[in-house]
Every structure is written in structure tokens, then in C-alpha cells.
A and B are shown apart, each in its own frame.
Chain A
Amino acid sequence: MDRARTVKAPAFLDRNWVSSCGLISGQQRGRLVLDLSGTERIDSAGVCFIELLGRMYHEQGGQFAVQGARPGIAKQLDGGKAARAVVTAAPPNEGLFLRLGGGLVSAVGVAVDAISMFAEMLYWSTIGLFRRQDIKKGAVYEQMYQLGYKAVGIITLLSFLIGVVLSLQSAIQLKNLGMGIFLVPLIGITMIRQMGPLLTAIILAGRTGSATTAEIATMVVGEEVDALRTMGINPMQYIMAPKFWAISLTMPLLSIIATAAGIFGGYVIALLYLDFNTSMFLKELVKVIKLEHILAGCFKSMVFSWLIIWVGCYFGFRVRGGAEAVGRETTSSVVVGIFIIIVANAVFSFIM
């Protein structure tokens, strides 16, 4: 049997001594006796330190004891034990497969919840309207103003700048090859089929998606959603349906505005850098643009709008907790929203 090692604690067993004594680090084997005969005061760190040492020695097969504690100190140490007795035990250390399985089950749960939210959104915004109309009068127009009209400025400006940058980069290469004339189909088709809808969707995912999540999450946290339920008002329809229709109607229009602004950016570069004139640019543009390109762009932007509002609502309704949770879900909503839009755009590029 090892001889017991005795350590004398100071008069004030506080957090400074706990950090410097070095008893926590290393192996907790053999026997350790902590002599508290000279200890007059002890702080919370000291109480927890003694409790922790006892547990660590016990778990590693060693022995730990306290001696000479004065009645006041002993009472504090007993208080520490009593307080911890009601604390829920820490979760057991799970194995790799258990954690992987748990993660998979949780991911499936999230996917099922998200899909069911999408189905509910489509139902309550369309067929569900024939069953009940829990929508406030004028809510769709209000949302169209908030989600659509107020985004026109930023979307126009950014699309114009993207059109300028895209055209400038292309024009340099095309001019070197003597194919400057191809700038018009390049910028025209790119903006109509890809950049117009995509840029609009990304801007709205950041702007509208985050606003939607923050609004709904704040309502959930403030029990406003529960209040709607107890008033017999369907919160899905009351909150989601106006947003669904507003974004479905405004997003294709915003996408057309973005496309026009981007093409205008290309026109400016063509004029300044490639010595085009207006009629030449328009003639080339009309030649390449077909109705199917415009319809494809509109269809894409319509689908993107549903994805934005779906993600925004999903993260808003799933919030649990307080203000911090609202911020966390809003961030997740923007990240996931942009990610889903880019993935959907990639899928559309293959099939359309």
C-alpha cells in the first residue's frame, strides 16, 4: 500500500491556490490527504476543487480524504455536495457509432420537419385558402411593398455593377480576339438566364429571408404565435401566406429589373470600351434573346422565391429560447437560404 501524501491547505482556500497547487493535473492514484486544519475560509472554487478531487481519485482507483476541517468549512463542503446532488448527471460519454447514429436521426428529423413546413406553406397559401382565410386584409400588398418595392433600389444598383464588371472582364478578352460583337449575347443570355434571377435571389435571401426569420422568431419567443393559435387563427396562414404571395408575385418582376440593369451595365461597357452604338447593341440583343430565356428566368426566380420564404419561415418557427436564439436562427436562415439557392441554380443549369 502506498503511503498517503498529505497536502496542507492555506488559511484561505481560494481560486488562486486552486490554480497554483497543481493537484488537479497528473494522475490521481495513490492516497492524498488534504489537511484543512489551518483553513479558516474557503470560496466556491475551493469547495468544487475538493469535490472534484474526490471524484477524480475515486474514478482512477486512488483514495482521497480531507482532514481537520473546522465546523464552518465542513458545513460548506456538505452544502456543495447537497447542491450537486440535485444537478442532473452529465450525459455518458457516447461512442462514435452512437454519436453518428444520433446525428443521422437528428438530421432526418430536421429534413422531415423542413419538408413538412414546405408542404404546409404550399397548402395554407393555396388550397387552404378555400378552407379558411386567416389573412389580414391588405397584408399581401403590405408585404409586396416591404419585400419587393423596398428592394428595388439595391437590386438595381448591384445588378448594374455586376453587369459592368462581367462585361468589362469579357470585353477585354473578346477585344483581344477580335470578337467584341459577342459581348451582347454573352451578357444578354447570362443576365436573363443566370445572373438576374440568381443575384435577385441571393440579395432577397439576405434581406427578406433574414427579416422573415427574425420577425417570426421574435413572434414565437414573445408568445405571439401561441396567442394567434388560441384566438383560433392559423399562424401558418396568417404569417406565411401573405409573404408567400408577395414574394411569388414580386420576385419575377425584381428579377426582370435586375436583368435589365445588368444588361444596361453591359451596354455602358460596350459603348465605352468596344465602340458599339445603341442601335447596334439593341439589334444584337434582340437577335439572341428568345421568349424561352425570359420564361426560364421567371420560372427560376419564382422557385427561388419559394425557397427563400420556406427557409425564412422554417428557421423562424423552429426557434426555441430567447433573443440569442433569434440571432442564431436568423444567421442560419441566411446561410442555408443562400446555399439552397446556389444548389437549386446548379440543378436548373443542368435541366433547363
Chain B
Amino acid sequence: MPQAKTSDEQILGLMRNPKTLEKGFRLLMDAYQDRLYWQVRRLVTDHEDANDVIQNALVKVFRNIEQFEAKSGLYTWMYRIVTNEAITFLKQRKRRSATSIDDANINLANRLQADSFFDGDEAQIRLQQALQMLPDRQKEVFNLRYYEEMSYEDISKLLNISVGSLKASFHHAVKKVEQFFAA
């Protein structure tokens, strides 16, 4: 996992003391905000949306740190909060926007082309369109494996899914992406 256990304990120790709460939170963000942001960004694609989602999620982390019971790693706990926030956002956006697949793909292409923090080419836009069509969980597994380059064992610990299921999920996602490109 990304951070040594002692570091997490130090951060938590600081955050449980009101006088050092802010300092602890800063350390927490120093340690994890980068990875958490990119996880969100790959789910929601545009920077502005990702920024809103990550800010809301980190505020929730700050407010609920007392409830963290250390049953899982600190990153795992935050990852779930952040991912839930992103998936909730995606569902809301889906409800607001077009319903057909074609319209959704056009919308995504338009959003990416308008996003000043995206400089991918046509193939990258097509990849994002293909990923958009994956179920949320499959997209999550794909992102962790393909972009984060995490081992199946680490993803298994993070998502609490067996390695076999993860491999099947990733392979299935890759096959769907290939089919999208071939179409």
C-alpha cells in the first residue's frame, strides 16, 4: 500500500488532537491528494468536475476522521469516500444529460475538447468514450490497473475483491474497449 503504517498513525495522532488537527490534515493531503485526485479525474474526466468532487470528498474525510476505525488502511478508507463521491456525481450527471449512448459520447467529446486541461488526441478521446460505457466497478478496476499500474493483489486489498475476479473484470473491460475501437 502507498504509505507506511507509522506515517498513517502519525497523521491520525495529529488529527485527533484539536490543536494539531489542521497540521495533520495537511500531512494527510500531502500524502494522498495526488492519487485521490487522479482517481477522481479518470472517473469524471474533466478537471473542473474532478476539482469539485475531490474538494467535497476531502471535506468529508476531514469531518469524519473520528469515525475511522483503522480496520482498513487510511488510503483505502479515503479511496472509498472519494470514489463514492465521484460515482454519485456521475449518476447525477447521467440523469441531467442525454440518455442515448451516441449523445453521451458526443457530450463527452465536446467536454474534453472544451477542457483546457485535456490535450489528448482523437484516439485518447475515443478511449475515454469507450471507458464511459463500462459499468462503474469495471471502469474503476480498469483505471487502477491501466493508469495506476497497481498489482492485482493491491487492488484486491483495496476493493476487497478476489484477484481472479479482478483479472476477469480487467480483461473483460479491455475486450470491450477493443470492440469499441473496432466498431
A and B found bound together? no
Binding site for B on A (CB under 8 A): none
